[in-house]
Amino acid sequence: MESKTNVPPASLTSEDLAAIEDEEVLNKMLDKASDFDERRMLRAALRDLLKKKRDKREQERGSRQQDLRQQGLSKGGTTGGAVSVGRASMNQQTPTNKPSSQVSPSASTPLNRTAGSQAGPVAASAQKCPPAAAPNVKNVKQMLLDWCRAKTEPYEGVNIQNFSSSWKDGIAFCALVHRFFPDAFEYSILNPNKPRDNFQLAFSTAERLAGCPPLLDADDLVRMKEPDWKCVYTYIQEFYRSLVEKGLVKTKKRP
């Protein structure tokens, strides 16, 4: 088989796949692969590549935050640089030089309450969550929760009772996506002790196959003790709408 087909030949090894640094190439190879062993090797290579990219982003983020802290200290915490530092750490002073303990509670977002010292990155994703509930949100929320529970009921390790703690290890996201795209990945090999990998797998698969925008960030979710229910609820709504638009869910009433 020629290499231009993007399907790995039988002689292709894990080392060969590890040398591929283009996620799109691996995804195309995975789409075309039909052999179980080939797909398993490709999935492993894709997970390793995503982990490498995440580690690089974490390193770059840590360097940026360190630079901001140094800028804030050198300027005495009174200039615009100190404002950025304050967003990255709850222990830094605000532009008005008030101690962090005196900052108004209204300045914090729902995600800040669980993210602790990681308020900066988490607060950014919190902006994607709905600021206020609609009048009929209770009925819609329950309908969507029941839908999620029904679709994932056959899956081992999934017990959806809410839009927060039930999703914290990423397995529920994977089960829901796998229900509609069973050939995308092997559900049985997922590890609940690797939530970041599970989040990334579910979100990337939903984006690639359903066109669902990646409203949630795997790195932010693993920092929190439990996911913010408004963020999970919003993401599931988007996934549901994407499925409806693809014709995979047929209904007149959409959450």
- HEC per residue, 193-232: CCHHHHHHHHHHHHHHHHCCCCCCCHHHHHHCCCCCHHHH
With respect to residue 177, please indicate whether it lies within any of the assigned structural domains: yes
**Total structural domains in the chain?**
1
Q: What is the CATH number of the domain that holds 144?
A: 1.10.418.10
Question: Is 10 among the domain residues?
Answer: no
Both tokens assigned to 33: 């692969």
Take residue 77 and report the two structure tokens written for it.
Answer: 């915490």
Nearest to 68 by CA among 44, 37, 89, 42: 89
- 183 within some domain: yes
* 73 belongs to a structural domain: no
Any domain includes 7:
no
Overall pTM surpassing 0.75 (yes/no)? no
CA separation for the pair 93, 82 (Å, rounded): 7
Instruction: Say if 154 falls within a structural domain.
Output: yes
| 189 within domain boundaries | yes
pLDDT in tens, the chain (255 residues): 444 444 445 567 877 888 888 777 777 777 777 777 777 787 777 778 777 776 776 677 777 777 777 776 665 544 444 333 344 433 444 444 444 433 333 333 333 333 333 434 444 444 456 554 444 667 899 999 999 999 999 898 999 999 999 999 999 999 999 999 999 999 999 999 999 999 999 999 999 999 999 999 999 999 999 999 999 999 999 999 999 999 999 876 545
In-domain check, residue 43: no
Whose tokens are 């802290």? That residue is 69
- C-beta separation of 163 from 229 below 8 A: yes
H or E stretch including 46? helix 36-74
Q: Which domain holds residue 240?
A: 137-245
pLDDT value at residue 49 = 76
Confidence at residue 75, expressed as pLDDT on a 0 to 100 scale:
55
